[in-house]
Amino acid sequence: MGTDAESGEFVREALGVAERITADGSSPWPVEAGRYRLVAARACPWANRVVIARRLLGLEDAISMGIAGPLHDERSWRFHLDPGDKDPVLGIEYLREAYEKAVPGYDKGVTVPAMVEVASGKVATNAYAELEFDLATQWSSLHREGAPDLFPEKYRDEIDAVGQGIFHDVNNGVYKCGFATTQAAYEKAFGALFARLDELSDRLAGQRYLVGDTITAADVRLWVTLVRFDAAYHGHFKANRQKLTEMPVLWAYARDLFQTPGFGDTIDFDQIKQHYYGVHSSVNPSGVVPLGPDTSGWLTEHGRESLGGRPFGDGTPPGPPPASERVPALPA
């Protein structure tokens, strides 16, 4: 991550290992059960997208998952929640070690999610958007029975179009607000963020999901930012025109998905706050982590069923997450 010195605008760094994992032989990395370990972090929205896709598609047995802790330093994400501060499968303390095995002298960003080949310990890819798509399409032979179609072919252009706006103005937009170093850059990002949220609210006022009548990748992309909004972005990133809880349509939509298997069961609010407030020293030099907000509202009725829609289409909900991947339950 960086900031343009002249404009003060946040600029997201290019991905460093933008390969793909495919079943059709179009990449050096083949689809194979047990070959890769997904390294994610509960704090990170970009990783959360892939974690949700893996859950919905039932790929837990085919792709193991390691969880980096919420705190890291200049050496990268680290496994400080695991015994001995090392990932139990990869045997590494810092994710950078897997990047350097893949690219000696690696000098770009060390990001999650990252798919790591277990045998070699090398990062195969950190291209989160391509990985999300490929889990849904290239890994289909390993999907659970009843897995939903996150990229229905007839809606792919619409999903991409909606997703582009979400990426630039919402997913990345909150970071543009938080890391802006000039008033003009901040106000530009702030305006684009809330204009896009207003547009999405209007769209969702009359339909349960963003594209079609089922959950698609577009919903996953928007939701990972919404679920972190009040806990991190409203205060920490100064995205404070309104809280999510003060935007009725988006708040109900976000609660609907939170209560859908595969979404809320991937979220740890404490780790989210620990990361944002504890790592971004330029934004929060004290490192003090807030105790709020109250999260019990996520479990309240949302009323979105009245709009129709079939969450999983012709498929079924995923089962409970593996015991090793369960997150703390919210207060009722």
Q: 73 - beta bridge partners?
A: 76
* Residue 314 DSSP label: T
* Residue 288 DSSP label: P
What's the CA gap between 88 and 66, in Å, rounded? 8
Give Cα 191 distance to the centre of its chain: 23
Buried-state track 132-147, b at ≥16 Cβ within 10 A, e below 16? bbbbbbbbeebbbeeb
- Kindly name the residue from 44, 99, 155, 253 that is annotated as catalytic: 44
- Kindly name the residue from 36, 175, 186, 209 that is annotated as catalytic: 175
- Segments in 138-182 forming alpha helices (H): 156-166, 173-179
Is residue 44 annotated as a catalytic residue, yes or no?
Answer: yes
Pairing type for strands 10-11 and 76-77 reads unpaired
By C-alpha distance, which of 218, 206, 199 is closest to 257? 218
CB 214 within 8 A of CB 152: yes
* Strand, coil or helix: 41: strand
Is residue 36 annotated as a catalytic residue, yes or no?
Answer: no
Q: 41 - beta bridge partners?
A: 68
The answer to whether 29 is a known ligand-binding residue is: no
E strand intervals along the chain:
2-3, 10-11, 21-22, 29-30, 36-41, 64-68, 72-73, 76-77, 114-117, 123-125
CB 252 within 8 A of CB 303: yes
Q: Report the catalytic residues.
A: 44, 175
Q: What are the binding residues for glutathione? A: 77
Q: What are the binding residues? A: 77
